[in-house]
């Protein structure tokens, strides 16, 4: 039919008829080509060949495949008492992420993921789900350790990296369960280092990693990995007016995790280095404002403590009233403002380390060297 129509059109006279003949011929050839190799309207189109994945894509996919089985999904429940019946009910509380720490079934997550929970269930990448037991927690670091029974084919622990040599601009990867969407991978950069956030008990969490990798509710407790697939942090918080990712997330650095978690496994709590002094954040704020000195007010010195051996003085009482004792203004030359920041600064050391304290005593500055001991 098409060829006959073509002949009729081409039999037209010269001039405009010949031009029309040429245009119609081109249109018919295009139509025939479409019938032979393309899709008609309403039919599925042919799939174009994709080609090989880029080297960057292959590296990221391999990283996810290696790390996926080490990441777990954590759901929690809490017990509440019905107002009318007074019966105790178990209701869902929330969810978060975690990761396998070792071959003994220890799982690391955030403290705030399991805070207030009466039960925690851990779901593995193979679909298996177990009830976990609480091993230990450190609210000051927002870290907690759970334990599960190892399955027949236990997932491997996340390889550990180091956070002391991280650089702003390097690539990082977060795996977790944002909004309950399990085993989600996001990618970003290290945006900043050595950030601080308020932790539990009036203390601050120091040396946090800031990243623009998407971290949302449910990502908490999941691993932050470097491009080698090593653990460099535990995703713990976001800064967001809306509650969703705004490109500002924070992770507890792995060096802190590797110091705290073994103690949680051994003791059930974290015993940080101490010098044997009494402090109080509220009184400290009043005293330092009154004296116009930034630091930590020593309220009392415990007998037999490193502070007593170094000659530190606490608040004294006389007929005239109370006289302030020493104000600790720096640790090894690094300024401290408040009891929480002082405790976090000592956390950079281990029991037995010697540190230099800068003191303000009755209007004069002095320095003492003190040996840290393990806290209680």
User: 291-336: per-residue pLDDT in tens?
Assistant: 888 898 898 999 999 999 998 888 887 777 777 888 999 999 888 8
Long-range contacts of residues 319-324, Cβ cutoff 8 Å, at least 24 apart: 324/287, 324/291, 324/297
Comparison of pLDDT for 268 and 31, the residue scoring more = 268
Are 137 and 204 contained in the same domain?
A: no
Instruction: Note whether residue 197 is domain-resident.
Output: yes
Q: Which of 70, 97, 141, 142 is catalytic?
A: 142
CATH number at residue 280: 2.30.42.10
pLDDT at 265: 96
Q: Which of 87-101, 192-206, 282-296, 359-373 has the highest mean pLDDT?
A: 359-373
**Closest by alpha carbon to 228, among 162, 315, 319?**
162
SS3 322: strand
For residue 267, indicate whether it is catalytic: no
The predicted structure's pLDDT at residue 12 = 45
Whether 17 is covered by a domain: the verdict is no
Q: Do 176 and 90 fall into the same domain?
A: no
Q: Are residues 236 and 187 in the same domain?
A: yes
- At 5, which helix (H) or strand (E)? helix 2-10
Q: Specify the range with the lowest mean pLDDT, choosing from 139-143, 339-343, 350-354.
A: 339-343
The pLDDT of residue 199 is 66
242 inside domain: yes
Positive or negative: CA dihedral 21, 26, 30, 32: positive
Band (pLDDT 50/70/90 cuts) for residue 157 is: very high
Last residue of a domain, one of 108, 131, 147: 147
Q: Tokens 């976990």 map to which residue?
A: 132
Structural domain contains residue 57:
no
Secondary structure tally for the chain: helices H, strands E: 8, 23
pLDDT at 324: 82
Neighbour-count burial of 277, counting CB atoms closer than 10 A to its CB (0-12 exposed, 13-18 middle, 19+ buried): buried
pLDDT of residue 6: 47
Residue that finishes a domain, picked among 267, 283, 303: 267
Q: Are residues 255 and 288 in the same domain?
A: no
In a domain, 332, yes or no: yes
Q: How far is CA 228 from CA 71, 231, 314, in A?
A: 16, 9, 50
What is the overall mean pLDDT for the chain? 84
Pair 233, 207 in one domain: yes
User: Per the domain annotation, does 6 fall within a domain?
Assistant: no
Domain that holds residue 136: 71-147
pLDDT-derived band of residue 239, with 50, 70 and 90 as boundaries? confident
- In the chain, the percentage of residues whose pLDDT exceeds 90 is 45
Q: State whether 179 and 129 are in the same domain.
A: no
Q: Is residue 93 assigned to a domain? A: yes
278 and 368 in one domain?
yes
Sign of CA pseudo-dihedral 168, 214, 132, 69: negative
Count of CA atoms in the C-beta half-sphere (13 A) of 300: 6
Q: Which residues, listed in sequence order, are joined to residue 88 by a DSSP beta bridge?
A: 81
User: Any idea what the CATH number is for the domain that residue 243 is in?
Assistant: 2.40.10.10
Residue 108 CA to residue 236 CA, distance in Å, equals: 12
Which residues is 83 bridged to in the sheet?
A: none
The closest alpha carbon to 174, from 244, 71, 243, 260, belongs to: 71
Query: For residue 38, which phi and psi values (nearest 5 degrees)?
Result: -110, -175
Binned at pLDDT 50, 70 and 90, residue 256 comes out as very high
Task: Please indicate, yes or no, whether residues 254 and 305 belong to a single structural domain of this protein.
Answer: no
Q: What's the structural domain count of the chain?
A: 3
* Same domain assignment for residues 245 and 299: no
State the catalytic residue, choosing from 220, 245, 326, 347. Answer: 220
Bin 362: left if φ > 0, else alpha if -120 < ψ < 50, else beta: left
Q: Rounded distance, CA 278 to CA 298, Å? A: 6
User: Are residues 178 and 253 part of one domain?
Assistant: yes
Last residue of some domain: 267, 296, 312? Answer: 267
Confidence of residue 18 (pLDDT cuts 50, 70, 90): low
Kindly state whether residues 262 and 283 are assigned to the same domain.
no
278 and 257 within one domain: no
Establish whether 142 is a catalytic residue.
yes
> Is 35 domain-assigned?
no
Strand duo 300-301 + 277-278: pairing: antiparallel
Q: What is the value of pTM for the model shown?
A: 0.77
Report strand pairing: 231-238 vs 316-318: unpaired
- Indicate which residue of 70, 97, 106, 112 is catalytic: 112
């Amino acid at each position: 039919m098409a060829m006959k129509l073509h002949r009729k059109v081409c039999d037209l006279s010269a001039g405009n008829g010949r031009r029309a003949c040429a245009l119609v011929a081109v249109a018919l050839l295009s139509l025939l080509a479409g019938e032979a190799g393309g899709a008609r309207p309403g039919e599925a189109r042919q799939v174009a060949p994709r080609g090989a994945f880029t080297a960057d894509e292959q590296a990221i996919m391999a990283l996810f495949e290696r790390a996926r089985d080490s990441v777990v999904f954590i759901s929690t429940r809490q017990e509440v008492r019905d107002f009318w019946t007074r019966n105790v009910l178990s209701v869902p509380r929330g969810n978060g992420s975690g990761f396998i720490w070792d071959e003994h079934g220890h799982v690391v997550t955030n403290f705030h993921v399991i805070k207030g929970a009466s039960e925690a269930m851990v779901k593995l990448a193979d679909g298996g789900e177990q009830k976990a037991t609480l091993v230990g927690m450190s609210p000051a670091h927002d870290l907690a350790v759970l334990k599960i029974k190892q399955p027949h084919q236990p997932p491997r622990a996340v390889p550990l990296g180091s956070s002391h040599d991280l650089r702003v601009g390097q690539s990082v990867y977060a795996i977790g369960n944002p909004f309950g969407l399990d085993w989600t991978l996001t990618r970003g950069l290290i945006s900043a280092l050595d950030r601080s956030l308020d932790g539990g008990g009036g203390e601050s969490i120091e040396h946090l990693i800031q990243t623009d990798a998407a971290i949302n509710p449910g990502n908490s407790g999941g691993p932050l990995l470097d491009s080698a697939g090593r653990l460099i942090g535990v995703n713990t918080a976001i800064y967001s007016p809306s509650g969703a990712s705004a490109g500002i997330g924070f992770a507890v650095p792995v060096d802190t995790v590797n110091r705290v978690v073994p103690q949680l496994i051994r003791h059930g709590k974290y015993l940080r280095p101490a010098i044997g002094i009494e402090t109080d954040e509220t009184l400290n704020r009043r005293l330092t404002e009154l004296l116009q000195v930034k630091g930590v007010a020593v309220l009392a010195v415990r007998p037999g403590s490193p502070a007593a051996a170094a000659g530190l003085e606490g608040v004294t009482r006389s007929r005239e009233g109370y006289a302030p004792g020493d104000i600790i203004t720096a640790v090894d030359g690094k300024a401290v403002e408040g009891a929480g920041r002082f405790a976090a600064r000592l956390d950079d050391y281990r029991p037995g380390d010697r540190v230099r304290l800068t003191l303000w005593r009755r209007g004069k500055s002095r320095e003492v060297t003190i040996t840290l001991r393990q806290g209680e």
